Amino acid sequence: MDVTEAGPGFPKTYALTVLMLSLMGCSSPQSSATPAPQFISGKLSVPSTLYADDGQWPMAAHDYASTRFSGLSNINAGNVSGLAVAWTFDTGLKPGHEAAPLVVDGVMYFTTPFPNTLYAFDLRHTGVAKWKYEPHPDSASKAVACCDAVNRGAAYDSGFIYYNSLDGYTISVSAKTGQEAWKTKVADINKGESLTMAPLVVKGKVLVGNSGGEFGARGWLAALDGTTGKELWRAFSTGPDADVLIGPDFHPFYEMDRGKDLGVTSWPPGAWRVGGGNVWGWLSYDPELNLFYYGTANPGPWNPDQRAGDNKWTSGIFARSPDDGTARWFYQWSPHDTFDYDGTNEQILVDLVQQGTARKILLRADRNGYFYVLDRQTGEVLSATPFVHVTTSHGVDLQTGRLAEAKDKVPEPGKTIRDICPASPGGKDWQPMAFSPRTGLVYMPHNNLCQDQEVSEAGYIAGTPYLGANVRMYPGPDGNRGAFTAWDPVTAKPVWQIKERYPVWSGALATAGDVVFYGTMEGWFKAVDARNGHVLWQFKTKSGIVGQPITFLSPEGKQCIAVFSGVGGWAGASVSAELDPRDPTAALGFNGAMSDLGQYTKAGGTLYVFSLP
């Protein structure tokens, strides 16, 4: 581990308060070709009347703004060194445990990877399950889970828990009794679809999207009625405007995203039908604008030679109305994505105050290696700065919004392209970052990987891999394969960074105690000082950590921290799927960078709950 402060710290001339929207009940090295940091001016602020925290955790991201910040401060930088295990629970399962537990009204709820059991624990009787619900998913669904049979969590709303099973069902379960309220099939595993994402509930609608881009599954996001499970609308990520729910209210900021039926015309004939753009990542919601935001995944196949054009509406971000799903704007992070740079990462919603006027913005660290600041009302890019080593592009043109690709890194048949940085998991993959209003910093778990890639012709057969690429990943500059970075979104610079042996594949948690939590793939759960990155406490768990840490108040009023260990997911498949470490192409090439992981950890899921004595 290596902690580096980026200078003595950057002067904070602005006051910061996070936009905790409607809480539902509660320096890496840069390529010489990349531009200098793009500064923005102003301060991040919001009226304190919009902030509330009652010690619960009702959704994976904690709140609609996706801050993963808690106002609890009983555990702080001064006493966190005394943190100890309060209780644990072993799931007995080997796939990656990526979910965030929920805590509502003194009960903890959590989902497991396949077979997607939902547990409820009464926190007054710790370590004993109150009830469990078993959906009995079709085991055939594991064959179309490209990157481990994971589940990223559930959402609570109005007395019900909503979550997905791998085999294509969205489920509503009574939070009180564990009885199934409804179970709706929304995806078809025979087409290569699966469900791994955590739903978001907005205005009584359960928003859910599919996985399956590596199988040629066409991406979509759907809204289900929270009471009945009936599908209300579905917005596809490719195809004609009518399918994408693009109408007269659609106003993209940039010319490249304007035009009729671009979801058809930006593809070779018929290719959009198997073009991916899946919605397996994170959603955020602004109740004042009545818009929700989410990203779309990579186009298929990986071989870009088979899909000339910008491949709308993949590898980008939509702003939509939850009422009818109609699109308001779209921005494409990576037009004609050539490296599997899914655009599905989380977006944090805050306000930027400039000369007394508040501007609603969106913070995003994308797989393509850039940290973006967007105007979330219009989709305008205010800044885009590399946060990792980037060789695949030369920057983002703020006039056109377009990513300037490095022509010498574009894969082509019969040729191996080397030194592709970041690798396909990106500068940062799904692992969610956190934001603290006390420091004004984003806390980012991320990767430091590069790859070599060659492409070949891919043929489409429903339900089978649709790739056309051979990839081998390896560590990026300096040899560390991951890092945990505190990033200042206004100065567009890192403030401090902790280098880690492996990709930091866990989520981040920030608290008002000025402590930030994250886990490593070797199994270390760490608490670090939010202001300087100094490690204040660490605990070795039974398995590598790819889960999302949370904090909550126990029924006795005691602050607790919870996280799953259980290595897996794409990054940890070498252990959870027992892959041959001698095969650098396994796990879509990730095994090349992770072949030694089994020397440091083993598979197996355990929930840990920590508290002060």
pLDDT digits (tens, 9 = 90+) for 189-219: 999 999 999 999 999 999 999 999 999 999 9
Residue 24: predicted pLDDT: 35
Give mean pLDDT, residues 385-406.
Answer: 98
Q: What is the DSSP letter of 571?
A: H
* N-terminal to C-terminal alpha carbon distance within the chain: 28
Cβ atoms of 476 and 389 within 8 Å: the answer is: yes
Whether residue 463 has pLDDT greater than 50: yes
Q: Identify the sign of the CA torsion 101, 104, 108, 109.
A: negative
Whether residue 6 has pLDDT greater than 70: no
3-state secondary structure 572-597: HHHHHCCCCCCCCCCHHHCHHHHCCH
Output helix, strand, coil percentages for the chain, rounded to the nearest 5. 10, 35, 55
Q: What is the pLDDT of residues 333-390, one digit of tens each?
A: 999 999 999 999 999 999 887 667 788 999 999 999 999 999 999 999 999 999 999 9
Residue 125: predicted pLDDT: 86
Q: Which residue has the higher pLDDT, 491 or 314?
A: 314
Lowest mean pLDDT, pick from 8-22, 405-419, 433-447, 479-493 = 8-22
Whether residue 298 has pLDDT greater than 50: yes
Give mean pLDDT, residues 296-324.
Answer: 98
Reading the block at residue 6, the tokens are 């980026």
Tell me the sheet residues that pair with 589.
Answer: none
Whether residue 9 has pLDDT greater than 50: no
CA distance 201 to 283: 10
Q: What is the pLDDT of residues 538-550, one digit of tens each?
A: 999 999 999 999 9
Is the entire prediction scored with pTM above 0.85? Answer: yes
Give mean pLDDT, residues 551-558.
Answer: 95
- pLDDT > 90: percent of the chain: 88
Using CA atoms, how far residue 593 sits from 422, 484, 574, in Å, is 13, 18, 10
CA distance 542 to 211: 29
Residue 54: predicted pLDDT: 81
CA distance 367 to 389: 12
Q: Which residue has the higher pLDDT, 443 or 127?
A: 443
Q: What is the DSSP letter of 197?
A: S
Could you count the other beta carbons within 10 Å of the beta carbon of residue 52?
Answer: 13
Task: Please report, for the chain, how many H helices and E strands are present, in that order.
Answer: 4, 40
CA distance 371 to 30: 13
Cβ atoms of 222 and 233 within 8 Å: the answer is: yes
Whether residue 25 has pLDDT greater than 50: no
Q: Give the ranges where 71-223 is alpha helix by DSSP (H).
A: none
174-193 burial, b at 16+ Cβ within 10 Å, e below that, comes to ebeebeebbebebbbbebbb
Residue 42: predicted pLDDT: 61
In this prediction, residue 534 has a pLDDT band, given cuts at 50, 70 and 90, of very high
Nearest to 209 by CA among 147, 280, 131: 280
Reading the block at residue 454, the tokens are 């060659």
Residue 21: predicted pLDDT: 39
Lowest mean pLDDT, pick from 7-21, 419-433, 452-466, 539-553 = 7-21
Cβ atoms of 199 and 186 within 8 Å: the answer is: no
Active site residues: 214, 298, 340
Burial class for 84, CB neighbours closer than 10 Å (0-12, 13-18, 19+):
exposed
CA distance 312 to 555: 49
Tell me the sheet residues that pair with 498.
Answer: 3, 484
Reading the block at residue 510, the tokens are 């920030």
Instruction: For residue 588, report the phi and psi dihedrals to the nearest 5 degrees.
Output: 55, 35
Q: What is the DSSP letter of 570?
A: H
Tell me the sheet residues that pair with 295.
Answer: 317
Nearest to 160 by CA among 64, 246, 58, 255: 58
Q: Over the chain, what is the mean pLDDT?
A: 92
Lowest mean pLDDT, pick from 33-37, 84-88, 172-176 = 33-37
Residue 127: predicted pLDDT: 72
Residue 39: predicted pLDDT: 56
In this prediction, residue 10 has a pLDDT band, given cuts at 50, 70 and 90, of very low
CA distance 88 to 90: 7
Q: What is the pLDDT of residues 45-102, one digit of tens each?
A: 433 333 456 899 999 999 999 999 999 999 999 999 999 999 999 999 999 999 999 9
Residue 357: predicted pLDDT: 76
In order of their start, the domains of the chain are 2-611 (2.140.10.10)
Pairing assessment for the beta strands 509-511 and 69-70 based on DSSP bridges? parallel
Whether residue 237 has pLDDT greater than 90: yes
CA distance 283 to 430: 12
